[in-house]
Amino acid sequence: MPRLIVNADDFGLTSGVNRAILELHQAGLVTSATIMARAPATAEAVEMARATPSLGAGCHFVLTGGSPVLPAGDISSLIDPATGAFFSSLGPLLYRLFTGRIRADHIEAEARVQIEFLQKAGLTLTHIDAHKHTHAFPQILRPLLRAARSCGITRIRNPFEPLWAVRATTQAGLLRAGMVAALLSLRSTWQRILREEGFLTTDGTLAMTGTGALDAAMIHALVGRAPEGTWELITHPGYCDEELARSQTRLRESREFEMRALPALREISSLELLSFASLHTGTRSEAE
C-alpha cells in the first residue's frame, strides 16, 4: 500500500494561499505545508500552523524570487547587485553556482537563519525543502543539510520524480518533462550525500513535472499507480486574488484549479496519508 505525503508549497506567499492550504488540510487532503520565512503573509501562516499542529510544517528554503533574512552584505554571493535581493529567477543563480561564484558558507548561513526564524516563532518544523527545488544540486544540498542539522531537522524532500511518473504526466510540455528527467542524473549523488549525512527522505516526488497543471486525471495517473513506498505529492493551492496577482510567481490561475483537483485523492483506495513527521525510514526505492 503506498503512503502519501500531500505537501502544499509556498505557505505564507499570500493570505489566499494560506487560507486554501488550511481549508484543504481541514478537509483531510493536505497533510503538510512548507513555510517561506520572508514572504508577505508569513506571519499569518505561522499563526495558522501554530494553531493547527496536525498540519506538518516545514521550511521552504528560498534562494530565488525573494528577500533574504540576513543582510545582503553578509551573503553577497547570493544577491543580485541590481536589486539587493535574491535573483528573481533560477537561471542567474545556477550560472553563478556552476561558475563557482556562490559561497557554500553563505548558503548555510542564510538557510540556518530562515529555519531559526520559523522555529523562534514557535514552530516545530518537520522537514525542509527548497523553492524551485534548488536542493537537488549537491553544491546547495550539503550546506543546506548542515544548517538543517544544526537546527535539529533530519528530514528533507526528495526532489526527484521517477521516469514512470514523468512519462505518465501527459499534460506537461516536452520542455518541462525534459528538465525534470534531466535532474535524475543528480539522483545517485544526492542519495549518497543523504546517506552520509544521515537524513531521511521519501522514495520520490509526484507531480513535479505537472506543476501548474495538476488535475484529477493526473492524480489518478500518478498516485493511483504509485508502487509500494512513501511518496510526496507536490501541490501549490491558493485563491487567485489581487494579492496573488502582485506576487512573484508564475502559478496563479492553476492554484484554484489544483484545489478543485485534490478531492480526487478520496477516490483512490488503500491510500495512507501522512506528514513528514511520520517519516521514520529512509528512501527505499531506486525504481524507475
Rounded Cα gap, residues 153 and 135, in angstroms: 15
Rounded Cα gap, residues 248 and 254, in angstroms: 15
Contacts of 53 (CB under 8 A, 6+ apart): none
Residue 281: pLDDT band (50, 70, 90) is low
pLDDT at 250: 57
The domain made up of 3-278 is a member of CATH 3.40.50.1100: no
pTM here?
0.92
Work out the average pLDDT over 110-136.
Answer: 97
Report which residue type is found at 30. V
pLDDT at 284: 43
Is the pLDDT reported for residue 76 higher than 50?
Answer: yes
Residue 285: pLDDT band (50, 70, 90) is very low
Percent pLDDT > 90 in the chain is 78
Which cell numbers in the block locate residue 165? 511518473
Is the pLDDT reported for residue 287 higher than 50?
Answer: no
Are the CB atoms for 71 and 110 separated by under 8 Å?
Answer: no
Rounded Cα gap, residues 210 and 220, in angstroms: 13
pLDDT (tens digit per residue) in 33-59: 999 999 999 999 999 999 999 999 999
pLDDT at 282: 52
Residue ranges of domains in the chain: 3-278
- H or E segment to which residue 21 belongs: helix 15-26
Q: What mean pLDDT is reported for the chain?
A: 91
